[in-house]
Structure 1
Amino acid sequence: MNEREEDLRVPLISFLLCLCVLIGGIFLFLYLFVPNLSEPWFPPIALILIGFPWLLWVLTYIYTCIKRCFGVSRNNTDSNRQISRRASTMANSRMARNASTTNGSNNAKEKQAQLGSASLNSSHCSKSEDPSITSSQEIEMPLTTSAPS
Protein backbone atom coordinates (compact mmCIF):
# COMPACT_ATOMS: atom_id res chain seq x y z
CA MET A 1 0.00 0.00 0.00
CA ASN A 2 1.21 3.53 -0.72
CA GLU A 3 2.58 5.57 2.19
CA ARG A 4 0.44 8.50 1.11
CA GLU A 5 -2.75 6.42 1.47
CA GLU A 6 -1.84 5.45 5.04
CA ASP A 7 -1.14 9.04 6.11
CA LEU A 8 -3.79 10.32 8.52
CA ARG A 9 -2.56 13.92 8.81
CA VAL A 10 -4.86 15.45 6.20
CA PRO A 11 -8.10 13.82 7.45
CA LEU A 12 -7.13 14.58 11.05
CA ILE A 13 -6.41 18.26 10.35
CA SER A 14 -9.59 18.56 8.27
CA PHE A 15 -11.61 17.01 11.09
CA LEU A 16 -10.11 19.40 13.66
CA LEU A 17 -10.79 22.46 11.48
CA CYS A 18 -14.40 21.36 10.91
CA LEU A 19 -14.76 20.76 14.64
CA CYS A 20 -13.49 24.30 15.36
CA VAL A 21 -16.04 25.82 12.98
CA LEU A 22 -18.84 23.65 14.37
CA ILE A 23 -18.11 24.49 18.02
CA GLY A 24 -17.70 28.18 17.16
CA GLY A 25 -21.04 28.08 15.34
CA ILE A 26 -22.71 26.49 18.37
CA PHE A 27 -21.35 29.22 20.66
CA LEU A 28 -22.50 31.91 18.24
CA PHE A 29 -25.94 30.29 17.87
CA LEU A 30 -26.36 30.11 21.66
CA TYR A 31 -25.33 33.76 22.08
CA LEU A 32 -27.72 35.01 19.38
CA PHE A 33 -30.77 32.79 19.78
CA VAL A 34 -30.71 31.54 23.37
CA PRO A 35 -29.82 34.63 25.43
CA ASN A 36 -30.65 33.09 28.84
CA LEU A 37 -28.02 30.32 28.30
CA SER A 38 -25.36 32.58 26.80
CA GLU A 39 -22.32 33.97 28.57
CA PRO A 40 -20.45 37.18 27.73
CA TRP A 41 -17.40 35.22 26.55
CA PHE A 42 -19.37 33.25 23.91
CA PRO A 43 -18.95 35.78 21.02
CA PRO A 44 -15.15 36.18 21.25
CA ILE A 45 -14.62 32.40 21.56
CA ALA A 46 -17.05 31.78 18.67
CA LEU A 47 -15.26 34.26 16.41
CA ILE A 48 -11.83 32.86 17.31
CA LEU A 49 -12.95 29.28 16.62
CA ILE A 50 -14.66 30.21 13.34
CA GLY A 51 -11.76 32.43 12.24
CA PHE A 52 -8.98 29.93 13.05
CA PRO A 53 -9.32 27.87 9.82
CA TRP A 54 -9.42 31.09 7.78
CA LEU A 55 -6.27 32.30 9.48
CA LEU A 56 -4.59 28.97 8.80
CA TRP A 57 -5.45 29.09 5.07
CA VAL A 58 -4.27 32.71 4.76
CA LEU A 59 -0.97 31.84 6.45
CA THR A 60 -0.62 28.81 4.15
CA TYR A 61 -1.16 31.06 1.13
CA ILE A 62 1.45 33.55 2.36
CA TYR A 63 3.90 30.71 3.00
CA THR A 64 3.34 29.38 -0.53
CA CYS A 65 3.98 32.82 -2.04
CA ILE A 66 7.16 33.30 0.01
CA LYS A 67 8.34 29.79 -0.87
CA ARG A 68 7.93 30.50 -4.59
CA CYS A 69 9.82 33.79 -4.31
CA PHE A 70 12.80 32.37 -2.42
CA GLY A 71 12.65 28.64 -3.16
CA VAL A 72 13.26 26.57 -6.24
CA SER A 73 11.19 27.84 -9.11
CA ARG A 74 8.70 25.57 -10.83
CA ASN A 75 10.40 26.07 -14.21
CA ASN A 76 13.67 24.76 -12.82
CA THR A 77 11.91 21.64 -11.54
CA ASP A 78 10.20 21.11 -14.91
CA SER A 79 13.49 21.44 -16.80
CA ASN A 80 15.13 18.91 -14.45
CA ARG A 81 12.30 16.48 -15.17
CA GLN A 82 12.72 16.95 -18.90
CA ILE A 83 16.45 16.30 -18.63
CA SER A 84 15.73 13.14 -16.64
CA ARG A 85 13.24 11.96 -19.26
CA ARG A 86 15.68 12.70 -22.08
CA ALA A 87 18.45 10.76 -20.36
CA SER A 88 16.13 7.80 -19.81
CA THR A 89 14.92 7.87 -23.41
CA MET A 90 18.48 8.16 -24.73
CA ALA A 91 19.59 5.16 -22.64
CA ASN A 92 16.67 3.09 -23.89
CA SER A 93 17.33 4.04 -27.52
CA ARG A 94 21.03 3.18 -27.07
CA MET A 95 20.05 -0.25 -25.72
CA ALA A 96 17.65 -0.74 -28.60
CA ARG A 97 20.38 0.17 -31.12
CA ASN A 98 22.74 -2.34 -29.51
CA ALA A 99 20.05 -5.00 -29.66
CA SER A 100 19.35 -4.28 -33.33
CA THR A 101 23.02 -4.49 -34.31
CA THR A 102 23.50 -7.84 -32.57
CA ASN A 103 20.21 -9.22 -33.83
CA GLY A 104 19.65 -8.28 -37.47
CA SER A 105 16.18 -9.74 -37.71
CA ASN A 106 12.74 -8.18 -37.31
CA ASN A 107 12.73 -9.33 -33.66
CA ALA A 108 15.21 -6.57 -32.86
CA LYS A 109 12.89 -3.95 -34.33
CA GLU A 110 10.02 -5.36 -32.27
CA LYS A 111 12.18 -5.18 -29.14
CA GLN A 112 13.11 -1.58 -29.98
CA ALA A 113 9.44 -0.65 -30.33
CA GLN A 114 8.66 -2.37 -27.02
CA LEU A 115 11.53 -0.58 -25.26
CA GLY A 116 10.44 2.77 -26.67
CA SER A 117 6.86 2.32 -25.54
CA ALA A 118 8.02 1.10 -22.13
CA SER A 119 10.18 4.19 -21.66
CA LEU A 120 7.28 6.44 -22.61
CA ASN A 121 4.96 4.69 -20.18
CA SER A 122 7.44 4.73 -17.31
CA SER A 123 8.71 8.28 -17.67
CA HIS A 124 5.50 10.17 -18.33
CA CYS A 125 3.07 10.68 -15.47
CA SER A 126 -0.46 11.96 -15.76
CA LYS A 127 -0.94 15.71 -15.64
CA SER A 128 -3.37 15.50 -12.71
CA GLU A 129 -0.67 14.41 -10.29
CA ASP A 130 1.07 16.82 -7.98
CA PRO A 131 4.57 17.81 -9.24
CA SER A 132 6.20 16.80 -5.96
CA ILE A 133 4.75 13.30 -6.29
CA THR A 134 6.02 12.85 -9.85
CA SER A 135 9.47 14.09 -8.91
CA SER A 136 9.71 11.58 -6.08
CA GLN A 137 8.68 8.78 -8.47
CA GLU A 138 11.28 9.85 -11.00
CA ILE A 139 14.02 9.79 -8.40
CA GLU A 140 13.35 6.10 -7.85
CA MET A 141 13.43 5.29 -11.59
CA PRO A 142 16.71 3.71 -12.75
CA LEU A 143 18.66 5.83 -15.19
CA THR A 144 19.89 2.84 -17.19
CA THR A 145 18.71 -0.71 -17.51
CA SER A 146 20.62 -3.67 -18.81
CA ALA A 147 19.64 -5.10 -22.17
CA PRO A 148 19.07 -8.84 -22.43
CA SER A 149 22.01 -10.56 -24.14
Structure 2
Amino acid sequence: MISRNSSQGATGIARRRLARGLSTALVACTTLLGACDGPHEQAGEKADAAAGVQQGPFESGPSESLGEAQDRVERDQRRAVDARADAAEAKADEVRESADQKADALEKEADAVRRSAKQTGEALDKQADQIRGKK
Protein backbone atom coordinates (compact mmCIF):
# COMPACT_ATOMS: atom_id res chain seq x y z
CA MET A 1 0.00 0.00 0.00
CA ILE A 2 1.48 3.32 -1.03
CA SER A 3 0.56 6.09 1.32
CA ARG A 4 -0.31 9.55 0.19
CA ASN A 5 2.77 10.94 1.95
CA SER A 6 5.00 8.39 0.23
CA SER A 7 3.90 9.46 -3.25
CA GLN A 8 4.31 13.12 -2.34
CA GLY A 9 7.76 12.33 -0.99
CA ALA A 10 8.77 10.72 -4.28
CA THR A 11 7.56 13.78 -6.17
CA GLY A 12 9.51 16.04 -3.84
CA ILE A 13 12.63 13.95 -4.34
CA ALA A 14 12.21 14.14 -8.11
CA ARG A 15 11.82 17.91 -7.92
CA ARG A 16 14.95 18.26 -5.78
CA ARG A 17 16.91 16.08 -8.21
CA LEU A 18 15.71 18.19 -11.14
CA ALA A 19 16.71 21.38 -9.32
CA ARG A 20 20.10 19.86 -8.52
CA GLY A 21 20.55 18.93 -12.21
CA LEU A 22 19.69 22.46 -13.29
CA SER A 23 22.11 23.79 -10.69
CA THR A 24 24.84 21.55 -12.11
CA ALA A 25 24.08 22.80 -15.63
CA LEU A 26 24.33 26.37 -14.38
CA VAL A 27 27.70 25.62 -12.81
CA ALA A 28 28.87 24.10 -16.11
CA CYS A 29 27.81 27.21 -18.03
CA THR A 30 29.53 29.40 -15.47
CA THR A 31 32.66 27.29 -15.83
CA LEU A 32 32.63 27.81 -19.59
CA LEU A 33 32.36 31.52 -19.02
CA GLY A 34 35.09 31.18 -16.40
CA ALA A 35 37.61 31.01 -19.22
CA CYS A 36 37.09 34.76 -19.42
CA ASP A 37 39.09 36.93 -17.07
CA GLY A 38 37.77 36.95 -13.51
CA PRO A 39 37.58 40.09 -11.38
CA HIS A 40 40.93 39.49 -9.66
CA GLU A 41 42.64 38.76 -12.96
CA GLN A 42 41.17 41.90 -14.51
CA ALA A 43 42.33 43.98 -11.53
CA GLY A 44 45.79 42.41 -11.79
CA GLU A 45 45.95 43.21 -15.48
CA LYS A 46 45.13 46.85 -14.70
CA ALA A 47 47.74 46.89 -11.92
CA ASP A 48 50.35 45.46 -14.29
CA ALA A 49 49.47 48.08 -16.90
CA ALA A 50 49.69 50.84 -14.29
CA ALA A 51 53.09 49.51 -13.17
CA GLY A 52 54.29 49.53 -16.77
CA VAL A 53 54.77 45.76 -16.99
CA GLN A 54 55.14 44.78 -20.64
CA GLN A 55 53.13 41.75 -21.69
CA GLY A 56 52.22 40.16 -24.96
CA PRO A 57 48.80 38.89 -26.03
CA PHE A 58 49.52 35.40 -24.63
CA GLU A 59 51.50 36.46 -21.58
CA SER A 60 50.40 37.65 -18.18
CA GLY A 61 52.09 40.04 -15.81
CA PRO A 62 52.71 39.06 -12.19
CA SER A 63 49.64 40.81 -10.79
CA GLU A 64 47.42 39.38 -13.50
CA SER A 65 48.77 35.87 -12.84
CA LEU A 66 48.17 36.30 -9.12
CA GLY A 67 44.65 37.57 -9.81
CA GLU A 68 43.98 34.59 -12.06
CA ALA A 69 45.10 32.26 -9.27
CA GLN A 70 42.81 34.05 -6.81
CA ASP A 71 39.90 33.67 -9.23
CA ARG A 72 40.62 29.93 -9.51
CA VAL A 73 40.73 29.59 -5.71
CA GLU A 74 37.38 31.35 -5.35
CA ARG A 75 35.85 29.23 -8.13
CA ASP A 76 37.14 26.05 -6.50
CA GLN A 77 35.79 27.15 -3.12
CA ARG A 78 32.36 27.76 -4.67
CA ARG A 79 32.48 24.32 -6.26
CA ALA A 80 33.43 22.74 -2.92
CA VAL A 81 30.54 24.50 -1.20
CA ASP A 82 28.16 23.34 -3.95
CA ALA A 83 29.46 19.78 -3.66
CA ARG A 84 28.93 19.77 0.11
CA ALA A 85 25.43 21.20 -0.31
CA ASP A 86 24.62 18.58 -2.97
CA ALA A 87 25.87 15.84 -0.64
CA ALA A 88 23.68 17.17 2.19
CA GLU A 89 20.66 17.26 -0.13
CA ALA A 90 21.35 13.71 -1.28
CA LYS A 91 21.58 12.55 2.35
CA ALA A 92 18.30 14.33 3.12
CA ASP A 93 16.67 12.52 0.18
CA GLU A 94 17.97 9.18 1.48
CA VAL A 95 16.63 9.89 4.98
CA ARG A 96 13.20 10.83 3.60
CA GLU A 97 13.09 7.74 1.37
CA SER A 98 14.05 5.50 4.28
CA ALA A 99 11.39 7.10 6.48
CA ASP A 100 8.77 6.59 3.75
CA GLN A 101 9.71 2.91 3.44
CA LYS A 102 9.52 2.42 7.22
CA ALA A 103 6.17 4.22 7.37
CA ASP A 104 4.79 2.01 4.58
CA ALA A 105 5.94 -1.10 6.46
CA LEU A 106 4.31 0.16 9.67
CA GLU A 107 1.06 0.86 7.79
CA LYS A 108 1.05 -2.73 6.47
CA GLU A 109 1.71 -4.04 9.97
CA ALA A 110 -1.10 -1.88 11.37
CA ASP A 111 -3.51 -3.23 8.73
CA ALA A 112 -2.57 -6.80 9.69
CA VAL A 113 -3.10 -6.04 13.40
CA ARG A 114 -6.52 -4.51 12.63
CA ARG A 115 -7.57 -7.56 10.55
CA SER A 116 -6.45 -9.90 13.31
CA ALA A 117 -8.25 -7.86 15.97
CA LYS A 118 -11.42 -7.84 13.85
CA GLN A 119 -11.33 -11.63 13.45
CA THR A 120 -10.63 -12.15 17.15
CA GLY A 121 -13.42 -9.72 18.05
CA GLU A 122 -15.89 -11.52 15.80
CA ALA A 123 -14.92 -14.89 17.30
CA LEU A 124 -15.35 -13.53 20.83
CA ASP A 125 -18.73 -12.01 19.89
CA LYS A 126 -19.86 -15.44 18.64
CA GLN A 127 -18.60 -17.03 21.84
CA ALA A 128 -20.54 -14.47 23.89
CA ASP A 129 -23.68 -15.17 21.83
CA GLN A 130 -23.26 -18.91 22.42
CA ILE A 131 -22.88 -18.35 26.14
CA ARG A 132 -26.11 -16.33 26.14
CA GLY A 133 -27.80 -18.95 23.98
CA LYS A 134 -28.22 -16.69 20.96
CA LYS A 135 -27.51 -17.70 17.41
Q: TM-score w.r.t. structure 2 length? A: 0.37
Larger-gyration structure (1/2): 2
Structure whose residues are more often helix by fraction: 2
Higher RCO (C-alpha under 8 Å, 6+ residues apart) = 2
